[in-house]
Amino acid sequence: GFLPLQGHVVRNWKVRWFVLLQDKLLYYKIEGGKKEPFPKGRILLDGCSITCPCLEYENRPLLIKLKTKTNTDYFLECCSREERDSWALDITGAIHAGHPVQVQELHRMKNSFKLLDNISLHDIVERMYDSSTGIRLTRNLDQGNRYKETFTGSALVDWLISNSFAVSRFEAVTLASMLMDENFIRPVGTRSTEATRSSDPSEKFLDDSTALYMFAESSKKNTSSKEEVQINISELSGTIVKQGFLVKQGHKRKNWKVRKFVLRADPAFLHYYDPTKEENKPVGGFSLRGCLVSALEDNGVPAGVKGNVQGNLFKIITKNDIHYYIQASSKAERVQWIEAIKPLT
């Protein structure tokens, strides 16, 4: 699948097509909408160590770090925590493929719950406050209210694991629930507040990127200008239905670029982001109301499509008659995207 990779010489980000084999991770360049036949590079997994979650880049919270036995660092970015954890588990399995006992131990740790006996919630909160290594506080929007100094549930889970307070997401969620029960942190916004009413203790804290929390003594909210809030409400406040990397044809130059697509409902919008850029802002997007979406045949190049493309194409026509040509990595993925978009049109 597609993953942004940080370069070694020039420390920029390039999207590459990754293929995981038993002993190596190959990555390919995409040129003109098609994968090149020979790999651009490879990461040998023998003696490799993996760090996930990796929080070395504040504005890239979904990183996997691989360190080879020659001490070369590779940073890979995923679209979602589910995708990141899936890649990390598969890569870890490949690293330890020759050691079945270690693979069994990894799965046992992933599904186990064993909180450290000498753990101190006060120590954890102190570490969370640390200006350099603590949890990153950001401003977040919820139901038109812009809260300041908040963090998401999934960000706290990542932080607890990366700081060795927990070894699995289940364990980190339990620990975060204890912090909330002891009034060190509190929920803010609709999503996290509603979860606290659940009768199941394991569902009171949400490992979710839309659930907001803050330190118990933090101020409530800081509303921004009406115009800024309105833009966020109208387009970016919808529930994320699906996200992933797709290849999109440009409108002017007709070249093909890998973009991160985010599909939202209520309101229904499809936004796309440039995964090579540091800022997490859409570079384009459109309302899905009144749109038409359909698959394009793979035999030959359809009208309106430029270049020798890989295939698995589909087209979205907006109500303003703007045509978007997009290609998925497989026929199955194309079907998934079309089926997710259609009910929102």
SS3 296: coil
In angstroms, rounded to a whole number, what is the distance separating the alpha carbons of residues 262 and 285?
9
Residue 230, token pair as written in the block: 């309105």
Non-local (6+) Cβ contacts of 329 within 8 A are 1, 2, 17, 245, 246, 312
The confidence score (pLDDT) of residue 309 equals 76
Of 3, 52, 50, the C-alpha closest to 29 is 3
Query: CB-based contacts of 128: which residues, under 8 Å, 6+ apart?
Result: 134, 135, 159, 215
Say what the pLDDT of residue 220 is: 43
| Rounded Cα–Cα distance for residues 52 and 64 (Å) | 5
Report pLDDT for 204. Answer: 83
User: Where along the chain do its domains lie?
Assistant: 2-107, 121-215, 233-342
Q: Give the pLDDT of residue 231.
A: 40
Question: Which pLDDT belongs to residue 113?
Answer: 45
CA distance 154 to 118: 24
pTM of the model: 0.70
Q: Would you tell me how many other CB atoms lie within 10 Å of the CB of residue 248?
A: 18
Q: What architecture is domain 121-215?
A: Orthogonal Bundle (1.10)
- CATH code of the domain occupying 2-107: 2.30.29.30
- Render the burial of 116-142: b for 16+ CB within 10 Å, e for the rest: eeeeeeeebbeebeeeeeebebeebbb
- In this structure, the chain runs to a length of 345
Q: What is the pLDDT of residue 267?
A: 87
Say yes or no: do domains 2-107 and 233-342 share a fold. yes
The residue ranges of the chain whose pLDDT is under 50 are 110-115, 219-231
The answer regarding whether domain 233-342 maps to CATH 2.60.120.10 reads no
CA 183 to chain centre: 29
